[in-house]
Amino acid sequence: MRIRELAERINAKLAPDSQDIEITGLASLADANTGELSFYGNPKYLTALRKCRASAVLVPATFNEQIGSVCLAVEDPAEAFAAILPLFARPPIVHAPGIHPSAVIASDATLGEGCSIGAHVVIQKNARLGARCIVEAGSFIGEETTLGDDCHLYSHVSVRERCTIGNRVTLHNGVVIGAEGFGYEISEGRHKKIPQTGIVQIDDDVEIGANSTVDRARFGRTWIQEGTKIDNLVQIGHNVTIGRHCILCAQVGISGSTRLGDYVTLAGKVGLSGHIEIGDQVMIGAMSGLAKNVPPNTIMFGAPAQPIREYKENYALLKNIRKLYNRVKALELKSPKED
């Protein structure tokens, strides 16, 4: 595709003498070669941009440095790159409507129009699927569970009994929804199981990454609200509530009955203890551990987590603790010894 065609599609500014350059593919700044297009949107990648061998690069409208590649100036390079990507990608896999002969579907289960049910799928009694759902090979949908329209369950997903899934929900390979919460009490010297009688409710436009788990509530519901995106290998305990449009990165663990507000971001390996509340638009840095409530619009970091400014101040002092120790030892050696 000629670069002028790409520029027209994304409303990019392009020098007149560059109109006929041919673009054959897309690549990262580090991997791009002649004929390919890349994008630059973060100053920390400026060195990589200067070394880039791409024929053209999407850059912010304010970018004014001279580089070896042709620049296409746009408001948001990452967004423009995403808009161009389908033009060079392979066609998406199409799942034709129908039921594979090996699928086992209860006679009273309800499937909406245009559903695609893969090999060895099990759908139990009184389950209800909306229109155009895709359930790939080896997945399981339990009794009285409901899925909305346009859901996509990849292979080996399990949604257990009586859970409620909204519209346009995507569950990637190995996700388990509605396993029993981890609840025990000591009785006569043994761990006695506490019944987990609640459900999981997942609202519209939620996406959950591979091998993540969402436990059913002890009573009531474990609730993931609209638009939240969850990475791979995330564990969400019983009776947790996660607000709208949150981001949970890989290996996050949330203990029971914790509540997250809207637009919360938990970076990788964050751990939250149970029965705490996290306000709207809170950000918690990678590998942080948190055991107390956090007010809205706060950035937390560390283990135990603390406000980011406080963490930076304490960390700077901690780096100098060896010097301080040596100074104190030296002063002790100089001071007169007590009888």
Active site members: 238
Helix (H, G, I), strand (E, B) or coil at 20: coil
The angle at the Cα of 202, spanning 198 to 203, to the nearest 5 degrees, equals: 135
- 10 Å Cβ neighbour count for 49? 22
CA atoms within 13 A on the CB side of 286: 3
CA-closest candidate to residue 292, choices 324, 332, 258: 258
Residue type present at position 193? K
The angle at the Cα of 192, spanning 188 to 194, to the nearest 5 degrees, equals: 140
Cis peptide before 304 (omega within 30 of 0): yes
Distance CA 95, CA 139 (A): 15
Q: Say if residues 133 and 98 touch (Cβ distance below 8 Å).
A: no
Q: Say if residues 116 and 97 touch (Cβ distance below 8 Å).
A: yes
Distance CA 279, CA 298 (A): 8
- 10 Å Cβ neighbour count for 58? 28
Burial of residue 207, with CB atoms counted within 10 A of its CB: 0-12 exposed, 13-18 middle, 19 or more buried:
middle
Element (H, E) at 329: helix 321-334
Distance CA 138, CA 92 (A): 21
Distance CA 262, CA 253 (A): 18
Burial of residue 268, with CB atoms counted within 10 A of its CB: 0-12 exposed, 13-18 middle, 19 or more buried:
middle
Tokens matching residue 29:
């700044």
